[in-house]
Structure 1
Amino acid sequence: MPDIPLTTLILLCVAAAAAGWVDAVVGGGGLLQLPALLVGLPHVPTAYVLGTNKAVSIVGTSAAAITYTRKAPVDVRTAVRIGLAAIGGSLAGAFFAAGIDSAVLRPLIIVVLLGVLAFVLLRPSFGTAPAPGPATRQRVLAAILVAGLGIGFYDGLIGPGTGTFLVIALAAILHMDLVTASATTKVVNVCTNFGALVMFTAQGTVLWQLAGGMALFNLGGGLLGARMALKKGSGFVRGVLVVVVVGLVCKLAYDQWAAA
């Protein structure tokens, strides 16, 4: 455990709380928490930063998943199947990550995100109404392939915005309202975070003391975010989704051009 100034520790805890809130509402909390850890721990090896980030995130994600499943109509069986597929996809993505230049992929992801943003803005009804009935077997299979294997592969390859992509994919493929899509995404995220955390723990690259303190704040943020989403409904989630997508585009653009 490195020596961390009190001011830095406070800022990391605030970032963890904000990340838990954003992640519970619409995904994308890693856009806040991971950069905060990278800035706050500049001399710590990246593997320890990533491992600590997962140890923090899984707490808030699990709390949000439990909160959602108690009050939202979540098909846990389907969510777990997608989550298991996502673990396989992320492992494959991580395997290929070393041989692929992320600078080549970022512009493509930015284009996809801009298309998603336009779709959400031009379709005010997207994700605001519940599905007319249970999802067909074909749609569930498509969700496993696209949201599980496909987005899981992206998570292992690059990572930023995985939760947001999952929410959009589940709403589009399974015709979920955005609250239910967010709830289902939390169950999927628990699966993927668990798989990654097992790997980081086995490698001994988790700063458990720091993770424990930040996890309490991430837990609070996750509980608050899930309750607000359930209370305010899909319109609120849609608004946060737009903000997060814009933030993700800006971050990827910065990484691609400004930080180069």
Structure 2
Amino acid sequence: MYDISLTTVVVLCLAAGAAGWIDAVVGGGGLLLLPALLIGAPHVAPASILGTNKAVAVVGTSAAAVAYARKVPVGLGRALRIGVAALCGSMCGAFFAAGIDSAVMRPMIMVVLLAVLAFVMFRPAFGTAPATGPAGRGRNVTAVLVVGIGLGLYDGLIGPGTGTFLVLALTAVLHLDLVHASATAKIVNVCTNLGALAMFAYHGTVLWQLAAPMAACSLAGGLAGARTALKRGSGFVRAVLVVVVVSLVAKLAYDQWVA
């Protein structure tokens, strides 16, 4: 076990709670949690940081998924089909993560995020209209391939922003409102986290003693975030989405050109 002070553990637990809240509302909690782990435990190997992050994230996301499922009607069968595809994708991504140059990936992700931000800003009604009827076969297949496998692979390879991408993709592909998209995204995100965590755990790169108290705080944050999103509605989720996307772009730009 790495030597991590009690003060650092407390700060990391607070960060985990905040990240759980953000993840439950609109995704992107990794934007806060990963940098917190890197700053709080600079001597810990990157693979162990990633593995510990997944162990914490899966608990908060699972809590949020249960909270949403109790209040929002979710197509569970469809969510699980996308989730199984995402689990397979995330396991593959985690397996190949060591061979990916993040310096090459960051500019690509920033371009995608800027496009997403422009789309959301110039489409004020995006995700605020009521969900449409059942999606056709074509849209369901697209959701499995693009949302499931594609974003599952991304989550295993890199991670931060996956929850946000899931909400956006589900809203665009399945024509869901942001609250229903967030509820479905939580189920899929649990699967991506489990897939990546299984691979990291297999390689022994999870700090379980640190992950346990952080996971408890993430659980509390996830439950609180789900209640907030359900109470405030799609408009609030959209506002948080804009803030998270801007923050993701800023963080990636900093990593690319400053750090």
Same fold (TM over 0.5): yes
- Alignment correspondent of 2:187: 187
Alpha-carbon distance in structure 2 between the residues aligned to 1:230 and 1:92? 33
Q: Are 1:136 and 2:132 counterparts?
A: no
Identity of aligned residues (%): 71
Q: 1:77-96, aligned counterparts within 5 Å?
A: 77-96=77-96
Q: 1:213-252, aligned counterparts within 5 Å?
A: 213-252=213-252
The letter of the residue matching 2:183 is A
Number of aligned residues: 259
Could you list the per-position Cα deviations for residues 128-149 of structure 1 after superposition, in whole angstroms to 9, with x for gaps in the alignment? 1222211111111111111111
Could you list the per-position Cα deviations for residues 67-115 of structure 1 after superposition, in whole angstroms to 9, with x for gaps in the alignment? 0001011111111111111122223334554444332232222111111
Alpha-carbon distance in structure 1 between the residues aligned to 2:91 and 2:192? 10
The letter of the residue matching 1:197 is L
Deviates more, 1:151-160 or 1:207-216: 151-160
Alpha-carbon distance in structure 2 between the residues aligned to 1:126 and 1:160? 23
The letter of the residue matching 1:124 is P
- Alignment correspondent of 2:27: 27
The letter of the residue matching 1:255 is D
Alpha-carbon distance in structure 2 between the residues aligned to 1:228 and 1:221? 10
Gap change, CA 1:76 and 1:66, over 3 Å in 2:
same
Alpha-carbon distance in structure 2 between the residues aligned to 1:202 and 1:106? 27
TM-score (normalised: structure 2): 0.95
The letter of the residue matching 1:125 is A
List alignment gaps of at least 5 residues for structure 2: none
- Alignment correspondent of 1:66: 66
Alpha-carbon distance in structure 2 between the residues aligned to 1:159 and 1:177? 24
Could you list the per-position Cα deviations for residues 191-242 of structure 1 after superposition, in whole angstroms to 9, with x for gaps in the alignment? 1111222222222322222111111111110000000000000000000000
- Alignment correspondent of 2:162: 162
Alpha-carbon distance in structure 1 between the residues aligned to 2:91 and 2:2? 29
Alpha-carbon distance in structure 2 between the residues aligned to 1:195 and 1:92? 9
Deviates more, 1:169-178 or 1:79-88: 79-88
The letter of the residue matching 1:170 is L
Alpha-carbon distance in structure 2 between the residues aligned to 1:2 and 1:132? 50
- Alignment correspondent of 1:115: 115
Alpha-carbon distance in structure 2 between the residues aligned to 1:130 and 1:256? 39
